[in-house]
Amino acid sequence: MSEGAAGCHGSALKESHTVSESIVAETAARIFADLADPQTINAAKTDAWKKPLWDALAEAGLTLAWVPEELGGTGADLADGFEVLRVAGHAAAPVPIAETLLAGWLLTQAKIPSPAGPMTLAPMRPKERLTLNGDGTVSGRARGLAFARDAEHIAVLATGAKGAVIALLLAKNCRIADVRGISGATLYDVTFDKAKPVKVADAPKGFDQSTLMLMGATARSLATAGALEAILAISVKYSGERVAFEKPISKFQAVQHNLARLAGEMAAATTAATSAADAIANARSLNDPGIFLEAASARIRSAEAATEGTAIAHQVHGAIGYTTEHILHRFTRLLLTWRDDFGNESQWAVELGNRVAAAGADELWPLVASR
């Protein structure tokens, strides 16, 4: 193939991939807009909206986008799934689509078919360990899982006698306790007391808990970027409508400054998260030091942006932003909760520093410059 033909072919592939991402994102956004409007859900007295929303997402193939067709999914690219996660964050998605996507991805690593229905995954904390016992059951405790009571199955990464294994368990066979996260959101502690898996298989060579944390952290970084984009739009709209001293508060310099800061935090988080997602989507292996640099940087920066962005948005809204009647809390609670999932910013910063120090000063600039 000539150089010109190769270039045209590459451009066509890139254009096709971009179109694919756009269609997936637009489909997800349309479903959330039609069936998961934050104001409507915030005012709902029952959970009747959940099933139509989940059914629409599943019918569109978004819930198992990262699962190959032969294992029960739709076989979409990693980039497509990452777009779904960003859009879900923008909608403050009140269903376990991110958890189901990640659970399906985890099961796929061991070629375990994904069941229909909502899933979650464990562990979601770097230092927690689950164990595959000699009798084939799973033991251990996973803290702070999202949507554990909504999930029908839980995909887990555990340690067996010969190394890492991946298992699929029925949620009803585990003990689930409600806990309150720092943001006030309900999370769940799940205890696996010799729970018998539906299916278990060895994890691929080189796949361990750090790999799971890396993928999960990138997923949360993208969702954070989407949610920050949403609270920026909400804050800009509110500041244009709220009148004080006979003019909209958006005319006050202090408010303008805060909105500019919020836009900066959103842009920084989005840039870091999309860069990490693009690197993972195009990587041959997640064990590459450059991939870790991207994911760690995205996690650290998006968590910082979540902290700052939440504070700024509530400053702009004043007291009304803290009320249950206003939708702002639906986003800010998620933003604060997501900071701890798959490792908080301090844990990622320490690990990144340790790896840079171990590699030596001469390796730092070539690694950074290669990204």
Range of the structural domain that residue 319 is part of:
209-369
Do 48 and 164 share a domain, yes or no? no
| Helix, strand, coil percentages for the chain (3-state, nearest 5) | 60, 15, 25
Do 136 and 147 share a domain, yes or no? yes
Write the CA distances from 245 to 222, 237, 250, 251, 257, integer angstroms: 39, 18, 12, 11, 19
**CATH number of residue 9's parent domain:** 1.10.540
pLDDT, position 15: 42
| pLDDT at 121 > cutoff 70 | yes
- The model carries a pTM of 0.90
Region 330-357: what's the mean pLDDT?
94
Do 169 and 274 share a domain, yes or no? no
Do 261 and 282 share a domain, yes or no? yes
Q: State which of 157, 182, 207 marks the end of a domain.
A: 207
| pLDDT at 186 > cutoff 90 | no
Do 57 and 194 share a domain, yes or no? no
pLDDT, position 8: 39
Report yes or no on 101 lying in a domain: no
Do 137 and 270 share a domain, yes or no? no
| pLDDT at 17 > cutoff 90 | no
Q: Round the average pLDDT of the chain to a whole number and report it.
A: 91
**CATH number of residue 252's parent domain:** 1.20.140.10
Report yes or no on 5 lying in a domain: yes
Q: State which of 176, 207, 238 marks the end of a domain.
A: 207
pLDDT, position 344: 94
Q: State which of 207, 242, 276 marks the end of a domain.
A: 207
Do 149 and 298 share a domain, yes or no? no
**Long-range contact list for 28-34, CB < 8 A, 24+ apart?**
28/57, 28/60, 28/62, 28/83, 28/84, 28/87, 28/88, 29/87, 29/90, 29/91, 31/56, 31/57, 31/60, 31/62, 32/87, 32/88, 32/90, 32/91, 32/93, 33/91
Query: What digits encode the pLDDT tens for the residues 249-262?
Result: 999 999 999 999 99
Single-letter amino acid code for the residue at 66: W
Do 13 and 159 share a domain, yes or no? no
Query: What digits encode the pLDDT tens for the residues 29-68?
Result: 999 999 999 888 988 888 899 999 999 999 999 999 999 9
Report yes or no on 113 lying in a domain: no
Q: Read off the pLDDT band of 324 (50, 70, 90).
A: confident
Give start and end residues of each alpha helix (H) in 116-196: none
Report yes or no on 103 lying in a domain: no
Q: Read off the pLDDT band of 184 (50, 70, 90).
A: low
Q: Is the model more confident about 13 or about 145?
A: 145
Q: Read off the pLDDT band of 241 (50, 70, 90).
A: very high
pLDDT, position 19: 45
Q: Read off the pLDDT band of 354 (50, 70, 90).
A: very high
Domain count, the chain: 3
Report yes or no on 107 lying in a domain: no
Share of the chain above pLDDT 70, in %: 93
Report yes or no on 307 lying in a domain: yes
